[in-house]
């Protein structure tokens, strides 16, 4: 609208060419100990599920109701499911990675169904760091980046070293503040902890 | 404005208007009736006299307790303004104190149902940005007091998009009627409503009723044998079935007509300053307002009937940090093409002209095949199975449904197109009808690229764009196009210094 806007516009046009294209970005993998956390979670889930199913098979009258071959088939499918579950966990870990750019952060995940989310810093509402009990034991943190786009689009990067997570948070918050200075009255939610 | 502030001491704890007691009770009874509906049905239509008596006492007791509760709730409810905060204290069993800083209040809307109008009070709805407690409602306030409060908050937060009383607004900002729904048009809207939806409501209602009654030990199927042993024979006859179908269609039609009249009676859409305002409703007169900068997405749509009579439905969705609901969007029905264009011109201002020569592109044909594929794997085995078990009526119905799915996949594909200009994104869609979604690029929040294995085999992916009021997807486009689009959109977002809200 105004002249100053036109100036900014041409300035930024140069910027775009220097911005790396998404394809040739180098993605940062998550901490390898996060793989252990994921596997542990999977193990616990599998143990509980197996225990429950085993109890049902052993102590309920299901054996009289269903032919034996069906039970064997079910067990075979269940074993396949467990194996695939572990493969998916490992592959899932391998496919989780993120990349930081000057103006946005990218997180991609998914082995079979791939997702690739980009959040511009000038749309970030607030950033938080989370740590679950298992993660605390492994000295890992989770970085959550919130925008007004809603829960489906918010980025959560798990498996970060707490120091890295802090640095990332600091960096993103400084970027959001800088990008917003002057032009908008928007104040990202103050981190009150 | 000053005068009203002087007459009311906003900083001391104030109760609502006494009409609030009625409103609280009304709300409570509504919930109770909804919960106890099956009992009421029994009460009216059956059960032993003994049961009837005890139910009667039960209902009376509950009504009295409910009313006492409403009175206590009223006297325990205070609000006041202090240090740029709105503070509400309430609670009958558990006391709670809510503090909302003015900065968090995004909009103030007034609402009046029939009780409000009787007592000349308004209900104040405040939408707040932030994670806790999406909105605050004050049930009943004197009209002037409500004005005083919204003025006070407004003064301390100039950004606020408040709906003021109509007299005040007209004196402050120019008000222009964009669209007014006349009675013939209202009927047109009612007639072209989606009657299938109303029909769905009826079916759902009967299932729900039947289910509830059966739980209470009333089984119509069993009773039918007692009362009318011939019923089963009769119900098989074609005349009965076809007259039931006709009745069903008629009732669906009537329901959607009534709904439309209740909702859209005397609908007026205004342009006020840099925003829109809508008033509508027969019994519940609602007034909603939205500032341009708050509006994230504009969508117009037409179902088949509406496109035949060339009227449009328009939705303007507003930013909210919480999940999207109806309250956050302004809906207007019965618009003509010119009205839609006028609204677009107001909303997009300088960017509007870009729409005149916008080029749109189709999505990949895989979009159609994917849908057809889903229909096939779900329905074809079922059709074969039912045919195998000689359930010919079921398989015929399923087969027709399958054909419908195939046709709709084709239509959806034909209508799905997208286009992007310097500042706007356009997404067209629809199955039997038509729809168009428009948004300003700088209002995007987040971008996601998604791909399934089947998409990757064809080098396709889907692009999902998130705004502060929901998402739009461009499905099944080439991967390189997708990445190029993404880069372009990111550049648009990141280079924009405009505030998205």
Return residues 130-149 of B near A (CB < 8 Å): 130-131
Taking only the tens place, the pLDDT of each residue in A131-165 is: 888 888 999 999 999 888 877 788 999 999 999 99
Instruction: For residues A112 and A167, state if they share a domain.
Output: yes
Q: How confident is the model at residue B161 (pLDDT cuts 50, 70, 90)?
A: very low
| CATH number where A174 lies | 2.30.29
Instruction: For residues A108 and A166, state if they share a domain.
Output: yes
Chain A residues closer than 8 Å to B323 by CB: 150-151
Instruction: For residues A39 and A79, state if they share a domain.
Output: yes
Q: Identify the pLDDT of residue B4.
A: 42
Taking only the tens place, the pLDDT of each residue in B27-50 is: 888 888 877 777 777 666 665 667
Contact B499 A15 (CB under 8 A): no
* Selected residue with higher pLDDT from B54 and B476: B476
- Taking the Cβ of residue B220 and every Cβ of chain A, the question of whether any pair is shorter than 8 Å is answered with no
Name the residue of chain A whose CA is nearest to B471's CA: A149
Nearest CB partner across the interface for B494, out of A104, A149, A185: A104
* Helices B479-495, A3-18: inter-axial angle, 10-degree rounding: 140
Name the residue of chain B whose CA is nearest to A21's CA: B487
Taking only the tens place, the pLDDT of each residue in B93-135 is: 878 887 777 777 767 777 787 888 888 888 887 766 544 445 6
Q: How confident is the model at residue A21 (pLDDT cuts 50, 70, 90)?
A: low
Residues 6+ apart with CB under 8 A from B29: B63, B66
Asked whether residue B159 carries a pLDDT value surpassing 80, the answer given is no
Q: Which of A93-97, A131-135, B233-237, B424-428 has the lowest mean pLDDT?
A: B233-237
- Taking the Cβ of residue A15 and every Cβ of chain B, the question of whether any pair is shorter than 8 Å is answered with yes
Q: What is the mean pLDDT of residues B310-324?
A: 75
Return residues 18-47 of A near B (CB < 8 Å): 19, 21-23
Instruction: For residues A105 and A83, state if they share a domain.
Output: no
Name the residue of chain A whose CA is nearest to B491's CA: A16
DSSP assignment of A17-57: HHSPPGGGPPPEEPPTHHHHHHHHHHHHHHHHHHHHHHHHH
Mean pLDDT (chain A, rounded): 81
Instruction: For residues A19 and A109, state if they share a domain.
Output: yes
Name the residue of chain A whose CA is nearest to B322's CA: A150
- Taking the Cβ of residue A122 and every Cβ of chain B, the question of whether any pair is shorter than 8 Å is answered with yes
Chain B residues closer than 8 Å to A12 by CB: 491, 494-495
Q: What is the mean pLDDT of residues B459-475?
A: 91
Q: How many CB pairs under 8 A join A and B?
A: 106
Chain B residues closer than 8 Å to A116 by CB: 448-450
Mean pLDDT (chain B, rounded): 81
In chain B, pLDDT over 70 holds for what percent of residues? 84
Instruction: For residues A87 and A153, state if they share a domain.
Output: no
Tokens 């030990």 locate to B217
Taking only the tens place, the pLDDT of each residue in A87-138 is: 999 999 999 999 998 889 999 999 999 999 999 998 888 889 988 888 889 9
Query: CA B276 to CA B267: how far, in whole Å?
Result: 13
Please state the pTM of the whole predicted model. Answer: 0.70
Q: Would you give the distance in Å from CA B396 to the centre of its chain?
A: 35
Contact between residue B336 and residue B311 where contact means Cβ atoms under 8 Å apart: yes
Phi, psi values for residue A110, rounded to 5°: 110, 130
Pairing of strands B105-112, B161-162: parallel
Instruction: For residues A60 and A154, state if they share a domain.
Output: no
Contact A186 B350 (CB under 8 A): no
Taking only the tens place, the pLDDT of each residue in B335-376 is: 999 999 999 999 998 889 888 888 899 999 999 999 999 999
Instruction: For residues A152 and A67, state if they share a domain.
Output: no
Q: Which of B139-153, B162-176, B222-236 has the lowest mean pLDDT?
A: B162-176
Q: What is the mean pLDDT of residues B378-391?
A: 88
The number of folded domains in chain A is 2
Burial grade of B440 (CB within 10 A; 0-12, 13-18, 19 or more): buried
Domain span including residue A145: 10-29+98-180
Asked whether residue B227 carries a pLDDT value surpassing 80, the answer given is no
Instruction: For residues A53 and A22, state if they share a domain.
Output: no
Domain annotation covers residue A188: no
Nearest CB partner across the interface for A153, out of B445, B493, B500: B445
Instruction: For residues A64 and A155, state if they share a domain.
Output: no
Chain B residues closer than 8 Å to A100 by CB: none
Instruction: For residues A136 and A113, state if they share a domain.
Output: yes
- Taking the Cβ of residue B239 and every Cβ of chain A, the question of whether any pair is shorter than 8 Å is answered with no
ipTM of the complex: 0.78
Taking only the tens place, the pLDDT of each residue in B284-308 is: 777 777 888 888 899 999 998 898 9
Domain annotation covers residue A39: yes
* Selected residue with higher pLDDT from B20 and A107: A107
Beta-bridge partner residues of A115: A109, B450
Q: Identify the pLDDT of residue B219.
A: 59
Query: CA B436 to CA B454: how far, in whole Å?
Result: 28
Asked whether residue B229 carries a pLDDT value surpassing 60, the answer given is no
């Amino acid at each position: 609208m105004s002249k100053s806007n036109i100036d900014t516009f041409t300035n930024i046009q140069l910027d775009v060419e220097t911005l790396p294209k998404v394809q040739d970005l180098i993605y940062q993998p998550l901490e390898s100990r996060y793989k252990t956390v994921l596997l542990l979670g999977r193990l616990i889930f599998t143990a509980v599920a197996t225990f429950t199913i085993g109890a049902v098979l052993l102590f309920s009258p299901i054996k009289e109701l269903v032919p034996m071959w069906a039970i064997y088939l079910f067990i075979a499918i269940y074993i396949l499911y467990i194996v695939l579950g572990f493969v998916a966990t490992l592959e899932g870990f391998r496919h989780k990675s993120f990349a930081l750019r000057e103006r946005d952060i990218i997180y991609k995940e998914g082995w079979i169904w791939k997702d690739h989310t980009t959040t511009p810093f000038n749309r970030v509402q607030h950033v938080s760091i989370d740590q679950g009990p298992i993660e605390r034991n492994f000295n890992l943190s989770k970085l959550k980046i919130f925008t007004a786009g809603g829960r489906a689009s918010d980025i959560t990067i798990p498996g970060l070293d707490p120091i890295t997570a802090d640095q990332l948070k600091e960096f993103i918050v400084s970027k959001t503040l800088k990008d917003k200075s002057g032009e908008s009255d928007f104040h990202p939610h103050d981190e009150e902890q | 404005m000053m005068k009203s502030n002087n007459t009311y001491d906003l900083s001391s704890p104030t109760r609502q208007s006494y009409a609030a007691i009625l409103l609280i009770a009304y709300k409570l009874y509504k919930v109770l009736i909804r919960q106890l509906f099956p009992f009421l049905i029994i009460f009216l239509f059956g059960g032993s006299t003994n049961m009837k008596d005890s139910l009667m006492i039960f209902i009376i007791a509950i009504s009295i307790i409910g009313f006492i509760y409403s009175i206590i709730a009223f006297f325990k409810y205070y609000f006041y303004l202090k240090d740029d905060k709105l503070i509400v204290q309430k609670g009958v069993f558990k006391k709670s104190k809510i503090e909302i800083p003015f900065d968090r209040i995004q909009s103030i809307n007034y609402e009046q149902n029939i009780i409000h109008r009787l007592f000349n009070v308004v209900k104040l709805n405040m939408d707040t940005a932030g994670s806790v407690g999406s909105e605050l409602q004050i049930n009943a306030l004197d009209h002037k007091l409500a004005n005083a409060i919204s003025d006070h908050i407004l003064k301390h937060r100039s950004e606020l998009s408040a709906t003021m009383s109509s007299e005040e607004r007209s004196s402050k900002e120019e008000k222009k009627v964009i669209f007014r729904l006349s009675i013939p048009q209202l009927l047109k809207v009612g007639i072209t409503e989606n009657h299938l939806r109303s029909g769905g409501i009826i079916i759902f209602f009967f299932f729900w009723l039947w289910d509830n009654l059966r739980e209470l030990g009333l089984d119509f199927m069993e009773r039918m044998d007692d009362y009318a042993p011939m019923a089963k024979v009769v119900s098989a006859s074609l005349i009965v079935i076809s007259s039931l179908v006709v009745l069903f269609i008629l009732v669906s039609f009537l329901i959607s007509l009534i709904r439309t009249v209740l909702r859209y009676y005397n609908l007026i859409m205004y342009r006020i300053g840099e925003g829109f305002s809508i008033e509508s409703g027969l019994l519940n007169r609602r007034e909603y307002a939205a500032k341009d900068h708050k509006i994230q997405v504009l969508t117009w749509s037409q179902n088949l009937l509406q496109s035949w009579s060339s009227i449009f439905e328009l939705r303007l969705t507003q930013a909210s940090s919480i999940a999207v609901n109806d309250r956050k969007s302004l809906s207007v029905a019965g618009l003509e093409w010119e009205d839609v264009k006028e609204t677009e011109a107001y909303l997009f201002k300088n960017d509007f002209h870009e729409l005149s020569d916008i080029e749109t592109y189709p999505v990949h044909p895989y979009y159609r095949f994917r849908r057809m594929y889903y229909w096939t794997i779900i329905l074809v085995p079922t059709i074969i199975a039912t045919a195998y078990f000689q359930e010919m009526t079921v398989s015929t119905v399923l087969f027709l449904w399958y054909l419908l799915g195939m046709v709709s996949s084709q239509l959806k594909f034909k209508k799905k197109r997208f286009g992007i200009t310097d500042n706007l994104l356009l997404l067209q869609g629809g199955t039997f009808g038509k729809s168009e979604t428009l948004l300003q690029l700088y209002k995007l929040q987040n971008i996601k690229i998604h791909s399934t294995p089947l998409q990757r085999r064809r080098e396709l992916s889907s692009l999902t764009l998130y705004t502060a009021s929901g998402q739009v997807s461009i499905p099944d486009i080439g991967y390189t196009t997708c990445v190029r689009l993404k880069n372009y959109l990111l550049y648009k977002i990141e280079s924009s210094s405009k505030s998205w809200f």
